[in-house]
Structure 1
Amino acid sequence: MKAMNKITIDRLVKRFGDVTALEDTSFTVAPAEVVCLLGPSGCGKSTVLNILAGFIDKTSGSVLVDGEEVRDIGPSRSVVFQSAALFPWMTVWDNATVGPRTRRLPYRERAEELLAAVGLSGFEKRYPYELSGGMQQRVSIARALLNEPDVLLMDEPFGALDSQTRLAMQELLMEISAKFRPTVIFVTHDVDEALYLGDRILLMSPRPGRVAREITVTTAKPRGYGFFTADEFTGLKQEILEFAHNGWGVHDD
C-alpha cells in the first residue's frame, strides 16, 4: 500500500482583506521528503508556511498533516526563520531546550545529541552575542528539532548568511535530514539552494500564488560540490531561469 502523504494541501486560498495571496494552491509532500518553494517576492511562499505552522488561518481549501486538518500551532511542526530569534539572556543550552523544558519533557540526552549534530558541543554555556550568525542558526535548528517535529518548516533560514557559511549550513541540513528524517518544506529565493537541497522544487506564480510547475531533482544525497557543475544541475537551473524570465507561469492555463 502506498504511504499516506505527510502533507496534503488542496485548493488552498488565502486572502488578506481585498488582496488574494494564494489561490487554488495544491501540492503534496511525502514523509521525509525535502520540498523547496521557489518563486518571486510576494508570491505567497511564506504564507503557505505560516498556514502550515498554524500561525494564520486559511480562507478556504484544505491543509492536512498526517490526514488531520491544521487548525493551530503544535509541537509536530517546528519553524526556523531567517533570523535565529534566540533569547539573548539565555545560553545556547537554555535556548535549545526551551521547548521540552516548558512542556516538562525529558530532553538532556537528545539535546546533547542534537547540539553535537549541529557542531555546538562545547558552546552550551555561550550566549547568542558570543556566536556568529551561522552558529546562531545552528542553535535555532537544534531548538526546532528538539521538539521532535515530524515537519520542519524553514523560511529562508540561510538568507542572511555569507556564501561560505550558507553552503556549510546547507550541508548541515542535508546531514540532519538524513539522520533525523523530518519532512521539510524550505522557502528560498535562491535557485542554486533549491536545487542543492530539494528532492522536489515547487515553482510558484506571482500573486495570487499557486504551484505553477514542479521540478524533481534525481541526484542522490548527499550532493557534493560537484553537483553544481553536473548536467542535471545546469539543465534544471536553465529550465527554472527560463521559467522565471517568462513570468513564473503567470500566463499558463
Structure 2
Amino acid sequence: MSHLMLKDVWKSFGANEVMTGMNFSIKKDEFVSIIGPSGSGKSTIFNLIGGMLAPDHGQILLEKKVINGKRGLISYMPQTPSLLPWRTILDNVVLGQELQGKKEISKAKEMLEIAGLADYEKAYPHELSGGMKQRAAFIRALLSPQAVICLDEPFSALDELTRFEMQKWLLSMWETHKRTVLFITHNIEEALYLSDRILVLSQKPSKVISEMEVPFARPRDASILLEEPFLQWKRKVHFTLTGQVVMR
C-alpha cells in the first residue's frame, strides 16, 4: 500500500516548466532514491512534499490524505547538516521532537551512543567533523515524529572515504530503525547500495522515465560494490539516465 504518492503533479516558475505529470508512489518503510540530471527538479519535489511549495496541478498524498501546501508532515535533511550553532548536539537532535511538544532524551542519548557521538552530547556543532555533523542531523531526522524522511544529497559535501563510511552507517541505522526514506543523489553507486528502488527522472520538464527495483538482498555488505552484478546494474542505471542503449 502506498504511503506517499505524487499524482499527476505539475510545477512551473513563470515560463520555466520544472515538471509535467510527475507520478510515483513510495511504500511504508521503503528506501527510494531519486536520481536525475541537474535541474530536473529533484529538490523541487522535496519542497512540494514538505509544503514549502504547492503544485500547480495534481495531488500529493500521505497515507491517502491530500497534503498539498501543508507543512510539518515530513522530516527533511538538506545537503548541509543545518545544526543550530547555539544548541548542543543533544539539544539539536531532539529539536524535531521539541517542535512537536515531545522530547525523548533517553532515546536520543541511546542513538547518539550508537552513532559514536556519546562523548559529544554537550559539544557544539563547530566542535564536530563533517561526518559527525551528518550523523547528528540524521539522528534528528530519525527522532522526529514524522513518518517520512527526505534526504537531499546529505553526503555530497563529504570526501569519498567519509561518504562511504556514512553510507554504511546510514544503511545500518535505517535497517535497525525502519522509516520511509526518499533520498536524492547524483551518485548511481550510492543509489544502488542504499535503495530498495530507484526513480530515474528525465530532463526538465521532468517526469519519472524509469522505476528500478534494486535486486540485492538486505542486509547489504559493502563488498557487493565490487561484484559484477552490482557493476552491471550501475551500467544499466547510467545508460537509462543518459538515454543510451545498453549493448548486449
Identity percentage over the alignment? 36
Shift, 1:247, TM fit = 6.7
Instruction: Find the counterpart in structure 1 of residue 190 from structure 2.
Output: 193
CA contact (8 A) 2:10 2:57 kept: yes
Q: Residue 23 of structure 2 aligns with which residue? A: 26
Matches within 5 A, 1:204-223: 204-223=201-220
More moved, 25-34 vs 143-152: 143-152
The aligned counterpart of 2:175 is 178
Residue 87 (structure 2) pairs with residue 120 (structure 1): no
Superposed CA offset, 1:142-175 (max 9, x none): 1112213211100000000011111111112111
Q: What residue number does 1:82 align with?
A: 79
CA distance in 2, matches of 1:137, 1:65: 27
* Letter paired with 1:127: Y
Structure 1 residues 97-138: Cα deviation after superposition (integer angstroms, max 9, x where no partner) = 223234331311221122123221111011111100011111
Distance 2:200 2:101 in 1: 41
1:142 equivalent among 114, 139, 147: 139
Per-residue CA deviations over 1:187-226 (Å, capped at 9, x if unaligned) read 0000110111111101100000100011111111232122
**Separation of aligned partners in 1, 2:112 and 2:177:** 13
C-alpha separation between the residues in 1 aligned to 2:244 and 2:42? 16
Q: TM-score, normalised by structure 2?
A: 0.94
Partner of 1:61: 58
- Aligned partners of 1:82 and 1:156 also within 8 Å: yes
Matches within 5 A, 1:41-52: 41-52=38-49
> Structure 1 unaligned runs (5+)?
249-253
Give structure 1 regions of 4+ aligned residues with deviation exceeding 3 angstroms.
none
Distance change >3 Å, CA 87–CA 118, structure 1 → 2? same
Three-state SS of the structure 2 residue aligned to 1:6 is strand
2:157 equivalent to 1:160? yes
Which residue of 88, 91, 109 maps to 2:88? 91
- Give the secondary-structure state (helix, strand or coil) at the position aligned to 1:122: helix
Amino acid aligned to 2:70: D
Unaligned runs of 5+ in 2: none
Query: What letter corresponds to residue 121 of structure 1 in structure 2?
Result: A
For residues 130 and 3 of structure 2, the distance between their equivalents in structure 1, rounded to whole angstroms, comes to 31
Pick which of 230-239 and 33-42 moved more: 230-239
Structure 2 counterpart of 1:90, one-letter code: R
Pairs aligned (count): 244
